[in-house]
Amino acid sequence: MGGVEIRDDRGAGRLEAVEGGEVVGRIEYFVLEEPAPALVPVHTVVEPAHEGKGIAGALARELYGLAAREGVAVAPLCPVAEAGVLLIGLRLLVGGPLARVLDRQRGGDD
């Protein structure tokens, strides 16, 4: 996934994956203030020509990293972001061989 930059456009409510100056993927989200602060991802898109490169996974990891840095929760409404939680959590818990098996079953590395 070299050459892809993930950037946060908070004003527009999206994390963007940018390659060669072109937005090739994004997670659309909003910031929930009440009852508790949270980032709420609602939709993930990767342009068809860029699918299978791990971009959705990189976006999900950055969303969770952003939330951790801000000390807020993530409340996913988007199934891709929700699946990202499970896969990222499994990697943290068991790592190594099981993560590689899960990746092979999904057909990629993210």
- Is residue 12's pLDDT more than 70? yes
What digits encode the pLDDT tens for the residues 52-110? 898 988 898 898 889 889 999 888 876 665 565 555 554 444 445 545 555 665 555 44
SS3 readout for the chain: CCCEEEEEECCCCEEEEEECCEEEEEEEEEEECCCCCEEEEEEEEECHHHCCCCHHHHHHHHHHHHHHHHCCEECCCCHHHHHHHHHHHHHHHHCHHHHHHHHHHHCCCC
Q: Which of 3, 72, 89, 90 is nearest to 33 (CA)?
A: 72
